[in-house]
Structure 1
Amino acid sequence: MKKLTIGAAIVSAVLAVGCGDDSAKDAGVAETKPAQTDQAQMNNNDGAKDSKDSASTGGNPFFEQWDTPFGMPPFDKIKDEHYGPAFEKAIAEARAEMDAIANNPEAPTFENTIEAMEYSGKLLTKVSSVFFNLTSANTNPKLQEIQKDVGPKLSAFRDDISLNPKLFERVEAVYQQRNELGLREDQMRLLEDNYKSFVRGGAKLNEEQKQQLRDFNKEMTELALAFSENVLAETNNWEMVIDNEEDLAGLPQGLIDAAADTAKKRGHEGKWVFTTHRPSKTPFLMYSEKPELRAKMYHGYTHRGDNDNANDNKEIAAKLAKLRAKKAQLLGYNTHADFVLEERTAKNAENVYELLNQVWPAALEQAKAERALMQEQIEKEGKDFKLKASDWRYYAAKVRNEKYALDEEAVKPYFSLESTLQGVFYTANRLFGMNFKERFDLPKYHDDVRTFEVTDNDGELIGIFLTDHYVRDGKRGGAWMNSYRKQFVTEDGEFVKPIIVNVLNYPRPVGDEPTLLTFDQASTLFHEFGHAAHGLLSDGVYPSQTGTSVPRDFVEFPSQVLENWMLEPEVLAQFAKHYKTGEVIPQELIDKIQAASKFNQGFATTEYMAAALLDMAWHTLDGKELKDANAFEKATLDKLGLIPEIAPRYRTTYFNHIFSSASGGYSAGYYSYIWSEIFAADAYQAFRENGIFDKETAKKYKKYILSSGGTQDPIELYKKFRGKEADPKYLMISRGLIEADESK
């Protein structure tokens, strides 16, 4: 659902990528030393003008014009205690602006109503963009307390806008005369989206219903925040301490060193500590020769939020699902999924299930075939037990190594974090003419952060790109892209350049060794930069339409399509170099990587699909009863026929995508990844047909997909790029679920 502009300023988008070194000038990467002058200075146009009472606020940075390079947030000056007063003042200012629009004595026009709303709330945008980025990437107990306090206030404020009858009356008046106003296409879409947002926000409800909606929204905000905090606490608190060196059998030395470092930091010096953070959990399950320890790790990861303790999420998730259904019905929809999907390219649950049910049987069949291969491997080793879920990654690695002679540990030296970023930058330069200079003088919120000035081939500033790569306790799991400032054009016609951040959770370097990435981790770096490019190359007018402001089931498309370039020999030759010798990755190893790229896709697709179908099951409920979360999940998965050796990628109690956002996040939308992949696979086919760096294809892709954002209908934009609708067959081929000749 597209929010009203004020709402969009509040809600932090989730996505991710990048980093770099000075070794690949041909990749468009260079360094700028601290003393070097800025090519461009930009004021923070999202910020409020200097307030007359700023002196009385104790020099709160949010009440001042930021004179930092490029209008970057002055992170070193912003303290936790500044957020409370800043939010209080920002909400008050935004409320006053909205009241002024609602009570304007002049007849409603596009300019004095729709555009006025679009450009209101500058201080709220300024505060929110910093605060919600940091509560995801670098939180602490104080910020969490502020979030608990401000969340309900922001929810109430959003409701005050959506349910303001005078404001809706003006919006509706402009909407009724929309065809006589001579609006541009983006203006018409802005008007229509605002009108629909009011209606979907409850503007046509009676007073009793409006109060009920407010109560629903307030409770859902509190529940979503609690869910998120519980997952973070469960992830941070769980640890497996090993004090017997024999229990490290099979583990790569880099993982052992990282575990020793973690142990030291957690007060277990001389021992080894493994956690459920992905950089620790995944390789442990892949390489540990101790099945009982693999089982312990697997249980710890898959039971987060399901331990009947203070951080338990079972009842919270069930309550959220019920409240969402009740809210949808209050607004005239049968289910939460019906409410959500109306605004997506999928349009309805039937279309979602049609795709998922088309892919599910093939994926499950492939997963069963993979299970049989691993059971054969167990028996070949003379062991007598049935494969368990905690064994899957261990035996998958063995089978892959034997089948393709591809050892993940042999691949990692060619994918250092630094060199892989060079591959990302090289690809961005070849496709879109983007050049990257690392800056050492720009403000940053943590020492891990790196900053890059991004320019085009004429030296014109595109935007600022921040990267934050390493796992730490104050950062939520996963990988994402967000913006500290979106691209837009001000009321005065000034083109504001974006400030984009990518956040990941890679293992931190140990000693003098660099961070070495698995193939999947390297692919994630490309994936997340696809999101960043979507934000950086934006070229629109209104902030609620620019960058990644597209339907949820379209937003993953630009990130997914960029992953394809990483496997191209021409790109690999540019960056996949051994971190010690500088040797370019051998063609033989490239061939093995490509041959193995579709291995274990039955597992990968099935665990993802199980989560997507679980999400849909929760959000097609009628809300008449509060479900027992574990019983409901089990019944859903049993009905699907999910094999016991595979769990959903996310079980209910740690499914942050769908339960940690007050606005709904990916609820009734986790299918979006595979839906977007239809566009991604079909789009890359265009590059295959014309050349992977074909200038005309890249130009059209940039113009219609990356730069246009939400200014037009995404399906129409895609057809302008491709000349036709996306063909799902390329998705099935890319996942190895059908052969190319089967699709003819």
Structure 2
Amino acid sequence: MAPEKYRKPQQAPPKFTATPSSLIEDTKRLIDRSRSVQDGIVKDIAPEKASFENVLLPIARDDNKMAIESHIIGFYQAVSTDQKLRDASTEAEKLLDDFGIESSMREDVFNLVDAVLQKKESLDPESQRLLEKDHKAYIRNGLGVSAGPKRDRFKEIKKRLSEISIVFQKNLNEENGGIWFTPDELGGVPEDLVASLEKGTGENEGKIKLTFKYPDLFPTLKYAKNAETRKRVFVENENKCNQNVPLFREAVLLRDEAARILGYKNHAEFRIEDKMAKLPRTVDDFLGDLRTRLAPGGQEEIKKLIALKKQDLKERGEKDPYGEGYYLWDHRYYDRLMLEKDFSLDQQKIAEYFPLQTTIQGMLKIFEELFGLAFIEIVGKDRDDLAESGKGSDIVWHEDVQVFSVWDDEGEGSGFVGYLYLDLFPREGKYGHAANFNLQPGYIDENGKRCYPATALVCNFSKPTPKKPSLLKHDEVVTLFHELGHGIHDLVSRTIYSRFHGTSTVRDFVEAPSQMLENWCWTPSQLRSLSHHYSYLSPEYEEAYKESEEATQTPSERIPDELIRNLIGTKHVNDALFNLRQLHFGIFDMTVHEPASHEEIEGLEISTTYNKLRKEISQLDGPEALDENKDWKWGNGQATFGHLIGGYDAGYYGYLSSQVYSTDMFYTVFKPEPMNGKEGRRYRHTVLEKGGSKEEMEILEDFLGRKPSTEAFYKELGIAR
């Protein structure tokens, strides 16, 4: 039970008791209310009487109320086990998107907003930002185009793009394919994974089914000794959602058409205009410079990996059925083997020190110390007490979900901060990657009262078994830190309007706070404090460990210094290839969104472009290298690339440009003393608290005390000049 002072948050947690019919009814109710607010403003306010208070403020307050319910309505499609509920959530999101398009193209409302802007009222900075952003949004949503066929076409495009986005993500979430393998074909794959896979019957008797979910996919690509198995897994994963291929093509064509209707040269120019980069050329120059700097390192890394591959095959007395090349399906396997052979890095051994639950506890402790927070897990009777119905199950969407109330520590005033949810294991129909979802944003209501945020981490880590808890590979620890970083940004943000809350920043900054926190996963003292060997968790686990390892005694409770040194020594091994992979995504994104003409994008073979660019940039061979006709259409990776449909279009470069800012912040402020609580709190209040309520470049300059620099980023990658 939680301590008394933490048992009564100022705000009840959200409920997850919706039914398919209630989702649709609630959605229609929200839309009707918003429409009546807008209609009322237009009816009652003449342009000469328009002010921020009687035009913008009522709409902003309605947006606040809308967000409190609408985010959760759309969330069900990512996490519910009930197909009907997921379908209703998808339908509701389409209704909300269509209404959003209708609202964004109301010329009568825009005329009032324009009148307010022209009056140049004296407003607080966040309200001024809201006014300017809203005014620009109306223009970017077609109201700068004369009423008539062009504007009507623009509206049609917006609606269709919304439909595509929803269906594309639904296809990814509900993908449930897989491959049947014999146990021999999965030789080398960790035994506990193989044991957990579905056993075949009938025509698949004696086989086991490998899915494309991350806990199955990545270990197989890393450990399967059979090159044919790895190739099959890799290629079929690239083709797991081919129903998205025509949707992706339609989306890039429609985006280009819409941008040209608005007077932009292409979609990239339209999208980047209001980001930190401002111009596509800035992005292209950044990506091009990085590619030039990284390419030689990539070539050197491939040479070493090919030598390792030859040595490995010779030692095993085998030949690669695909010849002497270095292939896309080889890389995770030989990257892992190099870490083990050259750096004595056993990822399985390291994972033993990072059971999921103790790692989360350690992580939260780090954030408590850095940012002045307290995380209190809500369990048992406390859940029942917080639920209005008295049923604790009403405040989570699945029995596996953990929920925490989050508070300021005494130094920060001991107030309530919000709710954090963790949904960590895969299940059918669930969002398949790792992401942070805002469930309810924070804001100040019309009575001056603060409404508190709720945020959820949705991940897909391996489930515990009777003999082992869920154990995290180091890269999964990094993923957890990254997503929890978004969650912290969401929790500690304090803005007047929900529009600017938390991670509602420009896309080429939003990853920076999370990326910065990844550095704590490479700091010896933090790795030690996070670690806790799983054999110490229970007598049963201790017994199972001794049995599996044929060990006579338990290992050290904390990860040994030698393992930490080995791990940290690998931070930049094959780093050029890793970043060239990111560049492939970023440059492909810009290629399809930055055509010289609409005819160019109409004639573009998108799958061929995706695969050719990957070969040119990453320098790794695909199946085309084995085909005498050089067929580049062997895979459709873009159809599995949810980011480019879900908001990172002409913005994927942001993962790399944000890395520039995150590395600069870490090197400048935290590298000398990562657990400096004074600086952590300054970071919380200067950067995280602001959300998107202030120009992101100003936020950075306030924190750094100067303009950001690429120096630390290039130094970290070892490519500084």
TM-score bracket for this pair, using the shorter chain length = 0.7 to 0.9
Query: Following the alignment from structure 1 to structure 2, what is the Cα–Cα distance between the partners of residues 74 and 719?
Result: 40
Please state whether the residue corresponding to 2:423 is helix, strand or coil: strand
Query: Following the alignment from structure 2 to structure 1, what is the Cα–Cα distance between the partners of residues 91 and 20?
Result: 13
Per the alignment, do residues 445 and 326 of structure 1 end up closer, same or farther by CA in structure 2, a change over 3 Å counting? Answer: same
Please say which of residues 139-148 and 697-706 is displaced more in the overlay: 139-148
Matched, 1:228 2:169: yes
Contact 1:487 1:496 in 2 (8 A): yes
Counterpart in the other structure of 1:32: 2
Please state whether the residue corresponding to 2:376 is helix, strand or coil: strand
Counterpart in the other structure of 1:189: 129
% identical equivalent positions: 25
- Please, what TM-score do these two structures have when normalized by structure 2? 0.87
Per the alignment, do residues 131 and 265 of structure 1 end up closer, same or farther by CA in structure 2, a change over 3 Å counting? Answer: farther
Counterpart in the other structure of 2:229: 293
Matched, 1:210 2:151: yes
| Alignment counterpart, residue 345 of structure 1, candidates 244, 262, 276 | 276
Per the alignment, do residues 142 and 550 of structure 1 end up closer, same or farther by CA in structure 2, a change over 3 Å counting? Answer: same
5+ residue gaps, structure 2, are 384-391, 537-555, 625-631
Counterpart in the other structure of 2:265: 334
Query: Following the alignment from structure 2 to structure 1, what is the Cα–Cα distance between the partners of residues 171 and 253?
Result: 20
Counterpart in the other structure of 1:366: 297
Counterpart in the other structure of 2:598: 623
Please state whether the residue corresponding to 1:534 is helix, strand or coil: helix
1:216 to partner: Cα distance:
0.7
Please state whether the residue corresponding to 2:499 is helix, strand or coil: coil
Please state whether the residue corresponding to 2:45 is helix, strand or coil: coil
Counterpart in the other structure of 2:689: 707
Matched, 1:436 2:389: no
C-alpha deviations, 1:1-30, integer Å up to 9, x for none?
xxxxxxxxxxxxxxxxxxxxxxxxxxxxxx
Counterpart in the other structure of 2:386: none
Please state whether the residue corresponding to 1:502 is helix, strand or coil: strand
Per the alignment, do residues 115 and 263 of structure 1 end up closer, same or farther by CA in structure 2, a change over 3 Å counting? Answer: farther
Counterpart in the other structure of 2:388: none
Contact 2:643 2:649 in 1 (8 A): yes
Counterpart in the other structure of 1:58: none
Matched, 1:250 2:188: yes
1:702 to partner: Cα distance:
1.0
C-alpha deviations, 1:638-668, integer Å up to 9, x for none?
6657432599999211111012x3xxx1000
Contact 2:77 2:90 in 1 (8 A): no
Please state whether the residue corresponding to 2:143 is helix, strand or coil: coil
Per the alignment, do residues 241 and 626 of structure 1 end up closer, same or farther by CA in structure 2, a change over 3 Å counting? Answer: same
Per the alignment, do residues 38 and 692 of structure 1 end up closer, same or farther by CA in structure 2, a change over 3 Å counting? Answer: closer
How does 1:118-267 map onto structure 2 within 5 Å?
118-121=60-63, 124-138=66-80, 140-147=82-89, 149-178=91-120, 181-208=121-148, 209-233=150-174, 235-236=175-176, 238-242=177-181, 244-259=182-197, 262-263=198-199
- Please, what TM-score do these two structures have when normalized by structure 1? 0.85
Between the two proteins, the alignment pairs up a number of residues equal to 663
Please state whether the residue corresponding to 1:101 is helix, strand or coil: helix
C-alpha deviations, 1:35-64, integer Å up to 9, x for none?
x7863344xxxxxxxxxxxxxxxxxxxxxx
Counterpart in the other structure of 1:116: 58
Please state whether the residue corresponding to 2:424 is helix, strand or coil: strand
What is the alpha-carbon root mean square deviation over aligned residues?
Answer: 2.5
1:606 to partner: Cα distance:
1.4
Counterpart in the other structure of 1:716: 698
Query: Following the alignment from structure 1 to structure 2, what is the Cα–Cα distance between the partners of residues 688 and 229?
Result: 40
Matched, 1:356 2:311: no
C-alpha deviations, 1:708-738, integer Å up to 9, x for none?
111111101111101112221222233x342
Per the alignment, do residues 247 and 116 of structure 1 end up closer, same or farther by CA in structure 2, a change over 3 Å counting? Answer: same
1:352 to partner: Cα distance:
0.8
Contact 2:64 2:443 in 1 (8 A): no
1:257 to partner: Cα distance:
2.5
1:74 to partner: Cα distance:
2.1
C-alpha deviations, 1:284-330, integer Å up to 9, x for none?
11111122111111111122234xxxxx2222211110100111111
Please state whether the residue corresponding to 1:604 is helix, strand or coil: helix
Matched, 1:696 2:678: yes
Contact 1:93 1:121 in 2 (8 A): no
Query: Following the alignment from structure 1 to structure 2, what is the Cα–Cα distance between the partners of residues 265 and 78?
Result: 37
Contact 1:603 1:646 in 2 (8 A): no
Counterpart in the other structure of 1:4: none
C-alpha deviations, 1:493-520, integer Å up to 9, x for none?
0011111111111111122421001110
Amino acid across the alignment from 1:39: R
Contact 1:468 1:503 in 2 (8 A): yes
C-alpha deviations, 1:505-540, integer Å up to 9, x for none?
111112242100111001111111111110111111
Per the alignment, do residues 567 and 267 of structure 1 end up closer, same or farther by CA in structure 2, a change over 3 Å counting? Answer: farther
1:266 to partner: Cα distance:
13
Please state whether the residue corresponding to 2:500 is helix, strand or coil: coil
1:253 to partner: Cα distance:
2.3
Query: Following the alignment from structure 1 to structure 2, what is the Cα–Cα distance between the partners of residues 206 and 143?
Result: 41
Higher helix residue share: 2
Per the alignment, do residues 37 and 138 of structure 1 end up closer, same or farther by CA in structure 2, a change over 3 Å counting? Answer: farther
Per the alignment, do residues 626 and 146 of structure 1 end up closer, same or farther by CA in structure 2, a change over 3 Å counting? Answer: farther
Amino acid across the alignment from 2:346: D
Contact 1:319 1:626 in 2 (8 A): no
Amino acid across the alignment from 1:373: K
| Alignment counterpart, residue 581 of structure 2, candidates 599, 607, 622 | 607
